[in-house]
């Protein structure tokens, strides 16, 4: 192996001068590579082994000149709530590196990132704390799993690879949550009260192989569903391909019979867990059987997805129609096919729905003009904009309204009201709304009952007062 001029300059001439050489380099953008060290080590081995100074020099070079450090971590007891960095790493590198930093970023195998709080104890103990449990949950980490960390100095970003302790192979599923970057990233950061953050969107899971083009309904645009979801479990299901529809995209509709995990839309940190398993059968109707296509049955493994509020990709928003369970034979042979994301309506979030209903009942009981809003992520984080149902906006709020006063527990928050054309998309925003959300720790899924206490739209007032009641979801159930 040949060394270039620069590499030759980096190599120590002899033992005691190594340190001087090392200290004399590495300014500016100098990056001493692992390759260079390997070359050096190999060269010295040929020369007859290491001396103590050489080993010290190597060590110093590693900690002082490398831009990247790697370390393993085996998940042991209590790993769900915190992760301790190796003390040597902290002492040699991270203590100084992260002395001014309280938050780092974990970049998962999927490329997604998680923001995690650092906790320091003494000079050698450093832990990943708040936010770590989300990373654990979303990668389904288990005890004895092995994590390989790569840290690029100066970035506060740790890249993580995840290996299964059973066979030391990389966990396949650790990559799969790349499809829900947007929702998760923001969810993970809620504890930071992070401000506005653009949500990255990525395409749906591709289900090529299940669809063929028939050229029907040309010009009709296929709806690309967003992947605000994460694969949580695969299930064996049966597809019955009945007919061809759509499109210019090589696709066809199917009848789908599925075993489905019912799961509410989970928006909050630490809330990602299955709460209910339920066997459900869906039938999706389609049309226009082509001449050259026979009815055909396909059996497959479906990736069940709990998070999205959307029906099947390409279903164009049409509801899935329940069919009788007896229409599906349990004895059918099962053959793997490409994954198809099967998604469930958000309203299956039983708890959220119950809370909403409770708020509605309470509103009716009080008999004051009111409306109820179920809190969404965008309402209480990121952009802090709560859309008012269009009916309520038209009925109760004047187009000239500029201010909304929110009253609760004797305190008043002054929020901004945004009127949009015809009341559509009108909503509450501004510092007052943000403060209201934060001070009352409103969560996704909570229902807020807004009672109008001031004269309504007809008076064309510049401000409206709402008495607000919050109906909280039970976090443990989500």
Partner DNA sequence: GCAGCTGACTCGTCTTAGAG
Partner DNA sequence: CTCTAAGACGAGTCAGCTGC
Binding site for DNA (CB under 7 A): 182-183, 195-196, 198-201, 216-217, 219-220, 223-226, 228, 243, 245, 253, 285-288, 309-311, 316-319, 345-346, 376-379, 382-383, 385, 387-391, 416, 418, 420-421, 424-425, 427, 429-431
DSSP label at residue 275:
-
Strands 447-452 and 403-408: unpaired
Which contiguous run of DSSP H or E holds residue 237? strand 233-241
Sequence-separated (6 or more) residues with CB below 8 Å from residue 414: 403, 404, 405, 406, 430, 432
Nearer to DNA, 126 or 303 (CB): 303
Nearer to DNA, 130 or 185 (CB): 185
Sequence-separated (6 or more) residues with CB below 8 Å from residue 408: 436, 440, 467, 468, 469, 470
- Cα 81 to Cα 41, 120, 138, 187, 329: the distances in Å are 40, 15, 13, 17, 44
Query: CA–CA separation, 379 vs 374, rounded Å?
Result: 9
Closest distance of CB 67 from DNA, Å = 24
Nearer to DNA, 162 or 375 (CB): 375
Nearer to DNA, 243 or 303 (CB): 243
Closest distance of CB 363 from DNA, Å = 16
Nearer to DNA, 91 or 345 (CB): 345
Nearer to DNA, 57 or 433 (CB): 433
Closest distance of CB 312 from DNA, Å = 9
Nearer to DNA, 165 or 218 (CB): 218
| Beta-bridge partner residues of 415 | 404
Q: What is the DSSP string of 77-134?
A: TTTTT-EEPPHHHIIIIIHHHTTT-SEEEEE-TTS-EEEEEEEEETTTEEEE-TTHHH
- Cα 389 to Cα 30, 65, 140, 393, 472: the distances in Å are 58, 58, 37, 6, 20
Nearer to DNA, 139 or 307 (CB): 307
Closest distance of CB 224 from DNA, Å = 6
Q: Give phi and psi for 41, each to the nearest 5.
A: -60, -45
Q: Assign residue 361 a region: left if phi > 0, alpha if psi is -120 to 50, beta otherwise?
A: alpha
- Sign (positive or negative) of CA dihedral 165, 170, 172, 173: positive
Please count the residues of the chain.
Answer: 478
Closest distance of CB 427 from DNA, Å = 7
Query: CA–CA separation, 342 vs 312, rounded Å?
Result: 6
Closest distance of CB 195 from DNA, Å = 5
Nearer to DNA, 36 or 308 (CB): 308
Query: CA–CA separation, 384 vs 196, rounded Å?
Result: 8
Closest distance of CB 307 from DNA, Å = 11
Residue holding tokens 């006063």?
405
Closest distance of CB 93 from DNA, Å = 27
Closest distance of CB 415 from DNA, Å = 9
């Amino acid at each position: 192996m040949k060394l270039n001029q620069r590499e030759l300059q980096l190599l120590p001439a002899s033992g005691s001068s190594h340190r001087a050489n090392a200290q004399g380099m590495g300014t500016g953008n100098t990056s001493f590579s692992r390759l260079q060290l390997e070359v050096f080590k190999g060269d010295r081995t040929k020369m007859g082994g290491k001396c103590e100074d050489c080993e010290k020099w190597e060590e110093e070079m590693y900690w002082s000149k490398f831009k990247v450090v790697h370390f393993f971590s085996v998940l042991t007891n209590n790993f769900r709530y915190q992760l301790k960095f190796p003390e040597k790493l902290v002492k040699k590198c991270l203590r100084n590196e992260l002395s001014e930093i309280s938050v780092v970023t974990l970049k998962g195998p999927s490329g997604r990132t998680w923001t995690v709080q650092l906790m320091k104890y003494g000079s050698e103990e450093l832990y990943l704390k708040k936010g770590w449990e989300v990373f654990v949950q979303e990668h389904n980490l288990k005890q004895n799993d092995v994590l390989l960390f790569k840290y690029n100095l100066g970035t506060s970003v740790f890249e993580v690879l995840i290996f299964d302790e059973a066979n030391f192979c990389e966990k396949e599923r650790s990559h799969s949550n790349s499809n829900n970057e947007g929702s998760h990233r923001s969810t993970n950061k809620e504890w930071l009260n992070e401000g506005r953050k653009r949500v990255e969107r990525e395409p749906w899971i591709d289900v090529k192989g299940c669809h063929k083009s028939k050229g029907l309904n040309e010009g009709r645009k296929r709806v690309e569903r967003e992947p605000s979801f994460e694969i949580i479990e695969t299930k064996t299901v049966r597809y019955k391909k009945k007919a061809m529809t759509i499109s210019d995209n090589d696709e066809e509709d199917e009848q789908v019979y599925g075993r489905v995990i019912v799961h509410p839309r989970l928006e909050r940190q630490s809330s990602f867990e299955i709460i209910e398993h339920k066997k459900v059968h869906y039938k999706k109707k389609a049309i226009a059987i082509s001449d050259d296509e026979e009815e055909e049955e396909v059996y497959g493994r479906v990736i069940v997805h709990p998070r999205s509020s959307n029906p099947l990709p390409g279903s164009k928003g049409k509801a899935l129609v329940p069919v009788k369970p007896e229409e599906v034979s349990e004895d059918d042979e099962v053959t793997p096919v490409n994954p198809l994301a099967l998604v469930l309506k958000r309203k299956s979030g039983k708890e959220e729905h119950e809370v909403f209903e409770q708020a509605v009942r309470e509103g009716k009981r009080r008999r004051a003009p009111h409306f109820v809003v179920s809190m969404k992520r965008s309402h209480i984080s990121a952009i802090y904009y709560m859309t008012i149902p269009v009916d309520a906006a038209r009925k109760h709020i004047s187009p000239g309204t500029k201010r909304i006063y929110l009253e609760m527990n004797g305190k008043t928050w002054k929020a901004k009201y945004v009127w949009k054309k015809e009341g559509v998309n009108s909503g509450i925003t501004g510092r007052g709304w943000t403060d209201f959300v934060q001070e009352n720790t409103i969560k996704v899924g909570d229902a807020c009952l807004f009672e109008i206490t001031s004269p309504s739209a007809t008076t064309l007032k510049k401000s409206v007062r709402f008495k607000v009641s919050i109906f909280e979801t039970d976090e443990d159930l989500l």
